[in-house]
Amino acid sequence: MARIPAPERRAALIEAALRVVSQHGIAQATTRAIVAEADMSLASFHYAFDSRDELIDELIATVVAREQAAVMPEVVPGLGLREILEAGILRYFEHLKADPEHEQAMLELTQYALRSPDRHPLALAQYARYVELAERSLELAASVADAAWRVPVALAARVLVAFTDGLTLTWLVDRDDDAARAVAAAAADALSRMADPR
Amino acid sequence: MARIPAPERRAALIEAALRVVSQHGIAQATTRAIVAEADMSLASFHYAFDSRDELIDELIATVVAREQAAVMPEVVPGLGLREILEAGILRYFEHLKADPEHEQAMLELTQYALRSPDRHPLALAQYARYVELAERSLELAASVADAAWRVPVALAARVLVAFTDGLTLTWLVDRDDDAARAVAAAAADALSRMADPR
DNA sequence: GTCTATACACCGATAGAC
DNA sequence: GTCTATCGGTGTATAGAC
């Protein structure tokens, strides 16, 4: 086999691990399954990583760092804040529908991290990142709609994260698109009432 | 050891399994960990159950059937619908704070069920039960507040389930009580606008 | 650096004595 | 019915040839 620098091997293994977790769940993301997905030998795994735990930690850090603002609103002037927010949440919903396994993987990684005190900070960082992205979206939305947040943006962002999480979890279970759209509308409604026109 | 009828052994093992899942997560809920918690021999497990899968399925069915309406509003006349709903959601939040491991276990069992086509119906049944309980709460709340739902109650109930799920997941990660209360207020606000005074 | 082969722990499940 | 002992399989991790 070709000689591949350790950092590249680590990256390839992390990508393979994400695919395995997405498709089969974290419980099935064994070292053997991951190296098979990456088309490597088992020994190569332990050359690149000290342990499976080390890879999982790195995987969580990677997906968190890579997370993009799926809810980021388009700049369409003339719309009210409520409409802008609803469009943003619906955009996230389309993103969820396009790749449900990825969001399911993110949820599993969160819960995995929650089960170990050592890894709890990883889950916290993940949600801090979500809140940060939500915050930017809400600030942009208010700016476009010419509104001002009455509560701290960080708090409104935290509420938005909770609402999208709930939308995700329930939709992954029942795949009820109409219900998900109702959640989006209700969430946008509630959030828009946390701001005043300027 | 004493001779215990099979149904009692099954019940004891299910209770032990729930404790193990709550405390250590479903990944650690091995047959050995469960029998240790139940103070039984490993062979007793396979006398009562054909397989570990059979017990997990039974466990999910049991916790779902046992689920109570934690959000069920108190009957306090004179309050508006929004206040009644907020009080109900805050009641659920206190329930969550009192026993976080149980709600975390429920989330894990849901995601576990989602990973296997055979068990997906169990997750669906779980959420159908949640929606049913939410529906009863919403009907009672509207009746007490003398209001009428403008949308189908089932849909409003589905939205309520999503909101409480999001509240649960985010709070389990960051344990931010103030943020959770803001989610509760926003959810109550959004839901109350799905009804009209009568 | 990469491989095959293997050590060792733990898993679910069963055999067979009592 | 209940137990101890054990099987076959799979998990993580490592040894040692190349």
Q: Let me know: does A133 contact A140? Beta carbons within 8 Å.
A: no
> Which pLDDT does position A188 carry in this prediction?
98
Listed as ranges, the nucleotides of chain C within 7 A of a protein C-beta are 1-6, 10-16
> Which pLDDT does position B76 carry in this prediction?
78
Q: Let me know: does B31 contact B52? Beta carbons within 8 Å.
A: yes
Rounded to an integer, the average pLDDT of B34-63 is 98
User: Could you tell me which of A116, A72, A96, A87 has the C-alpha nearest to residue B162?
Assistant: A96
Residue nearest to nucleotide C11 (CA to C1'): B30
Tens of pLDDT along A33-43? 999 999 999 99
B126 CA from D11 C1′ (Å): 32
- Which contacts qualify for A149-155: CB closer than 8 Å, 24 or more apart? A149/A194, A149/A195, A150/A194, A150/A195, A150/A196, A151/A194, A151/B182, A155/B178, A155/B179, A155/B182
Q: How confident is the model at residue B78 (pLDDT cuts 50, 70, 90)?
A: confident
> Which pLDDT does position A68 carry in this prediction?
87
Alpha carbon distance, N-terminus to C-terminus of chain A:
64
Listed as ranges, the nucleotides of chain D within 7 A of a protein C-beta are 1-6, 10-16
Listing DSSP states for A55-78 in one string gives HHHHHHHHHHHH---TTPPP--TT
- Give A179's contacts (C-beta < 8 A, 6+ positions apart): A170, A171, B155, B158, B159, B162
Tens of pLDDT along A75-99? 777 899 999 999 999 999 999 999 9
Rounded to an integer, the average pLDDT of A146-157 is 98
- Helix pair angle (B120-144, A153-174), 10° resolution: 120
Do residue A194 and residue B186 have CB atoms under 8 angstroms apart? yes
> Which pLDDT does position A88 carry in this prediction?
96
Do residue A159 and residue B108 have CB atoms under 8 angstroms apart? no
* Alpha carbon of B3: minimum distance to chain A alpha carbons (Å): 36
> Which pLDDT does position A72 carry in this prediction?
75
0.95 exceeded by the pTM?
A: yes
One-letter amino acid for residue B81 of the chain? L
One-letter amino acid for residue B144 of the chain? V
